[in-house]
Chains A and B, each alone.
Chain A
């Protein structure tokens, strides 16, 4: 077995660790011993190398994105603040109606329990949504939301989607409860979208 590597050390290893395969035994390349005159010389060299490395960072220049002025573009599937949608096409009479029918599937899917839906029957003379019922109250508590996107997945009518806006900080917790009107409103386009080549 040890025809090629017939050394005492490996023989001993085979006796002590018979389950180890020959190819498992590798030689470790250690660095030079620390200390001494050679150590001083190497330390000096390593210091110069380090100085060169840091100076290279100056030549590279900063990579900081100056956040409030510049923004990192987000990917198309970035999950930001939610949006509620209306029908913007379709047959006459449906256009402009809310897609949400108040089924509460999003609220059921929500892991952090931050969506509150109160459904109400549609008045046929004055419809709010295209379905039988509509959401009289639709609130998302953004201070609880974890932006997992399950509501978007659960919605059978694509009425709720995740937008790209991530700048939602506010001074009051109560201001972070977004009502239906706020979610339906066209969001301010604050976040650049990443282009294909970025």
Chain B
């Protein structure tokens, strides 16, 4: 006798769930190292250079070399640090990213197996709940390091993440109203006629900009700000703990891109037979990630006050307006 934690739209036998979660987990963990090398190579191309091309053919083994290097480093902890929090902060950062992967749909239900971890009826809230949890990874790291740079980075990320969380949520509400569901697979199915990027273009833009801010990516990488804060909240981290923050950042980028694809770009939908669905999904996600990298290669970092005024004076009113207009149109039409 099992009691579900939340109302679940669709569930299979337990062993299928275990296999699914392993496949998704491993699949994404294989994608993340590839993303790091893809990002470095693309940034290189954006700057008229090659990027890493020495380790293995065309530099594809670079992440392996990075991991070996990071794993070989000493687990250093400053004297002023709070030991327990210092140790669990990177784990929280990774955990929140991985948990969010569970709800991302890579395909429809086929032969009694859904191509996603779980279809929760509160999909959007789930995403925001665990997205907010990832702040604790940053905040605890910055605070427990006992270093002023880490602390400044943590303060910045606190302010930044809180500011952009609001407009990010509001930008998705338009889609939720149009689809009439919070469950991610239902939202994808509701896009059979037209992808929501067309009616919700403003929402898509706001979501992308907030997504850059939520994942601490350029041009909103103030919490890290390698030039001024020497990596901000991760200043005092080394070895695999530092590596896990790196991993968490790319994982979060993957998650936010998947959410963008699910909500605005039609999720797994695409021409071709059904078994192509996960490929369509991953392809679209990689395209969005390309945009992430493209923007990183283009835009300079915002000043702190610019970041705040963009978040509160522009993104939030626009997102509210978008929600209001969508609400009126959904009711009238």
Contact = CB atoms under 8 A, between A and B. Distances in A.
Interface of A: 40, 47, 50-51, 53-55, 57-58, 60-64, 66
A62 B50 contact: yes
A34 B104 CA distance: 41
Contact of B294 (A54, A61, A62): A54
A61 B48 contact: yes
A50 B299 contact: yes
A64 B50 CA distance: 7
B122 interface: no
B298 A53 contact: yes
Interface of B: 42, 44-50, 294-295, 297-299, 314
26 contacts: A40-B314, A47-B298, A47-B299, A50-B299, A51-B295, A51-B298, A53-B298, A54-B46, A54-B294, A54-B297, A54-B298, A55-B294, A57-B46, A57-B47, A58-B42, A58-B45, A60-B48, A61-B48, A62-B44, A62-B48, A62-B49, A62-B50, A63-B49, A64-B48, A64-B49, A64-B50
Contacts of B44: 62
B325 to A, nearest CB: 17
Nearest to B291: A51
Nearest to A64: B49
A63 B298 CA distance: 19
Contacts of A60: 48
Contacts of A58: 42, 45-46
Contact of A51 (B42, B47, B49, B294): B294
A62 B294 CA distance: 16
Contact of A63 (B48, B294, B314): B48
Nearest to A37: B314
Nearest to B318: A40
B298 A50 contact: yes
A60 B44 CA distance: 12
A2 to B, nearest CB: 43
A57 B46 CA distance: 5
Contacts of A57: 45-48
Contacts of B48: 57, 60-64
A66 B295 CA distance: 27
B217 to A, nearest CB: 15
The interface centre, meaning the residue of B42, B295, B297 with most chain A CB atoms within 10 A of its CB, is B297
Nearest to B313: A35
A40 B45 CA distance: 29
Contacts of A64: 48-50
A62 B55 CA distance: 18
Contacts of A55: 46, 294
A55 B48 CA distance: 10
Given A54-B297, A58-B42, A63-B48, 15 more contacts: A40-B314, A47-B298, A50-B298, A51-B295, A54-B294, A54-B298, A57-B48, A58-B46, A61-B45, A61-B48, A62-B44, A62-B45, A62-B50, A64-B48, A64-B49
Nearest to A40: B314
A44 B252 CA distance: 25
Contacts of A54: 46, 294, 297-298
A137 B87 CA distance: 64
B319 to A, nearest CB: 14
Pairs of residues from A and B, 8 with the lowest C-beta to C-beta distance, nearest first: A54-B298, A50-B298, A64-B49, A58-B45, A54-B46, A63-B48, A62-B50, A54-B297
Contacts of B49: 62-64
B230 to A, nearest CB: 26
Contacts of A53: 298
Nearest to B309: A35
A64 B45 CA distance: 10
A59 to B, nearest CB: 9
B299 to A, nearest CB: 6
Contacts of A51: 294-295, 298
Contacts of B297: 54
A47 B300 CA distance: 10
A51 B298 CA distance: 6
Nearest to B219: A47
A34 to B, nearest CB: 10
A55 B291 CA distance: 11
A62 B48 CA distance: 4
Contacts of A50: 298-299
